[in-house]
Structure 1
Amino acid sequence: MEVGPLKEDSSQFKNCFKLSLERPYILKLAFSAGIGGLLFGYDTGVISGALLYIRDEIGQVERSTVLQETIVSMAVAGAILGAGVGGWMNDRFGRRLSILFADVLFFVGAVVMAAAPTPGIIILGRIFVGLGVGMASMTAPLYISEASPHKIRGALVSLNGLLITGGQFLAYLINLAFTRVNGTWRWMLGVAGLPALIQFFLMLMLPESPRWLYRKDRKGEAEAILRKIYPEDEVSRELELLGKSVESEVADEGTIGVGFFARVKKAWTTRLVRRGLIAGIICQVAQQFCGINTVMYYAPTIVQLAGYSSNSTALALSLITSGLNAIGSIVSMFFVDRSGRRRLMIISLCGIIIWLGILSSVFYASSVKSPAVGFTETQHFSNFTCPAYNPAAINKWKCVDCLNAQCSFCANSHNKVSIHAYYFDIYNLNLPRELA
């Protein structure tokens, strides 16, 4: 509880809409900070489409799976470091300055990636973006919660989650928009600098979190901000509750210490807190281990493996995944207070298990039941096929093995992984194998 007691009910979103109309300043605070969530979602989703064109343009990336994975994963590595540093910055310099610093990282990372001449520079830009993602992922919801009226705090914090999934959907849309523009992937990655710039200037005009100001003994500034958030007759009560909450927090720190390890040790030795800590960790780990990040990072690649080889088609079909992800966030926002967190989590986990099982089954079936490639099938080529084909592997070599061989025997400039395009070129156009 940041500022007063949190009373959650099914009317929170109705109250959110009503209060936002009465006090648009509240919505300005939430949306300005929430752009950090939008950037978080955009930068995690944009690489899925950009990677397709990076591979096309830079042969070194196309030939190295390790390099491809490094380009994708360095943002995650940067986010881990950014989240750790962000916690210290939030306490030391405040939430507002932390968001401003994250915007600088976002902007620098976007510019570096857009202008990158080599894969190494792309990776460097991804690290900068990752640092920004790590800081924004923890600072934006913290700022929103501390600068929101307690009656609608849950709804406004949920807004940050919606902007994350909305940012992912926006990333796929922008990827699709730039498929026919010169410098495709550079535009895709560079566009992220624009919302970072917008948020930077918006945050310059917004105040610091009232809770952080109160903790730094700047009570007059904290009260001035509360007057913009709450009606005049509620300000004194909220200021009193804020003071009690901060004093309680300071007292707890005096008992357990201010160090990270001291806090963890105290939390782990307290039964009630330990149960909550375990539940929170399990939920976070399960959320990551369900594989949604993998799907979001590689959705177009997965679609191409399913047989839709065109980059633009793969991106268009990937919009379905990101769109459903955003819709799921909207649904959860409306039902989280009516149905409860536990029930929604169980339902969503069941859905995740079912659909991941279906996805795995489809890929397994495609690899096991794909048509065989053997002596009989290669008679059309006078037994002359790609170097990766091993005649000793008759009845074991499958169509999927051909696609994974990456020898370019079955490829042409229009449809990179379709063996049907090869048949068309050879038999209908009478092209030599080297041009197919």
Structure 2
Amino acid sequence: MAIEVLPLPIPPTADPEKLKDFGREVKGVNPGALSPEEFKEVHDLLYKHGALLFRNVDLTPEQQYALTKAFDPASESYGHGNKKTEGEKKSILHPDLKTIPRVPQVQLIGNGTVYNHEGLAEAMLKHPSHTTFHKTRVSAEDEEKGYTRYYRWHIDAALYDLSPPKVTTLYGVTVPQGPHQTVRYDDGTGDELEVPLGTTAFVSGKTMFDILPPELKSVAVRTKVKYAPHPYVWMAPARALPTGLGILSEGLEMSYDELPPWEESRIKVLPMVWKNPVTGDLHFQVHPCGVSELLIDPLPEGTKREGALYPDGARLADLKEVRELLYKMQRPAIAPNLVYPHDWHEKDLVLFHNRGVLHTVVGAFKKDQVRAFHQCNLAASDDPAGPSAEDPGDDASEEPFMSQYLHYSVHNIVGFECHGQL
């Protein structure tokens, strides 16, 4: 049976034009036993569309690990390091993950208590909630009415020592059903989004980059992002914005002296924009909660500077300034009409391009609502690539990328990589 590919059902709140290329449902193949030819097709579909859905799949943890590893055969350990997250009590990730003993690359996540599950006699799971991470929270009365928030927009990555995984696989084992909830942004915009209970929400990093105004695109392709050492420990005392897109600057982060032992050479410094290896598209891929500095290269010599931001380059180390700039760049892409909230059913398998999308846990469950998912992502064998010389080209007629820079004459951007600035 040939592979059949269908668009994902996007909600009526979404902009169909902006989401027309995002996500596909795949039928006609068993993702746990793909032939080499089938895998190649699935591989390319994932990089082209950001997320793939397989419905009604029977998938063992061993098969899930093998499928995830196939996207990066040299990868081996879980994306945060096997056992490291569970063993680091101070990390904000500690309560959320339980390792499946016989396949330590696969984690059990969810809500409630699960018994006799894949070698775990008893596992107490906790669905992450904005109530424990945001500075403010939806009132208990409003929660009863079905209001909630995004938890934390992020990329699956340790962001220290290990390279960000290329692909994450999520498999719904036990999926409780219930009334839809309404996400409130609570940022003064009045933005809201109706979502299925316990949805995973996705936004496209490509769209996040594409919709930037020219002056911010210029900054994005010139910037490297420096993350804090052990960022999930570092950020644990701090509190997030109500949109789940970054942290308030209140000086609550753990001091570097208090962190577990760390080395400067293991700190991650990554491009702000990551290049898709199949399509060549550029994706704005930043985990805003873990960022400590932004390192901006100057405009190339001879470039018109009028209207450009940071034409001489900059090192932004003030957390408030760093976060305000990132928020300005990322917030437009989480607008309700650009979000795909997946409606989970049991035996759904979702693959997503972890280097091309941002995602977040959403909503809240009651204690007696048992939910069990298997999650797998693997620390990659290399770091993501940023923009390269061929992306903008040297001809101002090249569309659509080059046209965004005409009023800066940034055709000289091709010199970035050659001059060691990317």
Q: Give TM-score scaled by structure 2 length.
A: 0.22
Identify, as 1 or 2, the structure richer in strand.
Answer: 2
Find the structure with the greater CA-based Rg. Answer: 1
Q: Give TM-score scaled by structure 1 length.
A: 0.22
Bigger relative contact order (CA 8 A; separation at least 6): 2
Identify, as 1 or 2, the structure richer in helix.
Answer: 1
